[in-house]
Amino acid sequence: MFPPLKKTFENLGLSEKQIAVLSVLLENGGSMLVTSIGKAAKLNRTTTYDILRELVAKGLASQVKKDGAFRYQSIAPESLPAYVERQREILEESKKEIAELIPQIKLLRSKGRSVPKVQFFEGVEGVRQAYEDILENNPEKFLRGITGMDAVYSNLDETWLEYFLKKRTRLGIRCVDLAPETEGGKRSKADDERFIRTTKFLPPQYNFEGDISIYSNKVAIFSYDRENPVGIIIEDDAIAYMMKQFFDFASSVAK
């Protein structure tokens, strides 16, 4: 499958196996038996059946019984843009519904809470979702960051990084960032004006592969492990205040 089309299906939430089976169907063009599909996709028969049922349910494949056996074929290529548009409309509607429910969810979560709330995020998409919280739940419009920029440029997708920085800037969220004085740190500082950010340098020997983001009443901690990135968000007034005090002191002595 062409990389841009594969990326589109990934963005729509299809798994690797679903994309593999759909690729086989799209490339073949006609109807196929399950055994042939599984062989081409390098999947066993049971898994192939399960994936085909999922693709049929999503409207990306169809099923017909011929000569006593089920055959499957993909959605017509020219129908793909309309399918993507339908999914976009469904997501937009879901977004509106969730937005309307947020006040009720916050109310339920706040009742009886006496300990810090901790959320754990795993994997690339999980970490990206955690970063979205910095943008969407930041009434102070201010971000304190301690960032290993070499690791950022080595391990994070630069297209997504550009998206995040542009969105933060568009939302008017100012940032002060403490970064080791390395090549990555200097590269980041060069873009400070563009992204309403002030970068201050730590000694280069204090380098690390992660990020601490302090905002509102939250502290987010990220590890940029390429195989399994993780993020933790701690929501607590006292902890956030303590980290802000620590950060402001470090910022006052950084250059």
pLDDT in tens, the chain (255 residues): 556 677 888 888 889 999 999 889 888 888 889 899 989 989 999 999 999 999 998 888 888 888 888 899 988 888 888 888 888 888 888 888 888 888 887 777 766 556 789 999 999 999 999 999 999 999 999 999 999 999 898 888 889 999 999 999 999 999 999 999 999 999 999 999 999 999 999 999 988 889 999 999 999 999 988 788 999 999 999 999 999 999 999 999 888
pLDDT at res. 247: 96
The structural domains of the chain, with segments of one domain joined by +, span 3-79, 114-253
Q: How far apart are CA 32 and CA 52, in angstroms?
A: 11
Beta bridge partners of residue 63, listed in sequence order: 72
pLDDT at res. 82: 87
**pTM, full prediction:** 0.59
Q: How far apart are CA 122 and CA 25, in angstroms?
A: 32
Q: Which of 1.10.10.10, 3.40.190.10, 1.10.540.10, 3.30.465.10 is the CATH number of 3-79? A: 1.10.10.10
Q: How far apart are CA 61 and CA 76, in angstroms?
A: 9
Mutual orientation of helices 3-11 and 16-28 as an angle, nearest 10°? 130
DSSP state of 141: -
- Whether 3-79 and 114-253 share one fold: the answer is no
pLDDT at res. 3: 64
Burial state string for 7-39 with b = 16 or more CB within 10 A and e = fewer than 16? ebbeebebeebbbbbbbbbbeeeebbebeebbe
Find the DSSP H helices in 111-224: 123-136, 149-155, 158-170, 183-189
pLDDT at res. 111: 64
Contacts of 21 (CB under 8 A, 6+ apart): 37, 41, 43, 48, 51, 52, 55
The answer to whether 175 and 195 are in contact (CB under 8 A) is yes
Q: Which of 3.40.50.970, 3.30.870.10, 3.40.50.720, 1.20.1300.10 is the CATH number of 114-253? A: 3.30.870.10
Q: How far apart are CA 36 and CA 111, in angstroms?
A: 55
Contacts of 70 (CB under 8 A, 6+ apart): 33, 34, 63, 64
Sheet holding 69-74, edge to edge: 32-33, 69-74, 61-66
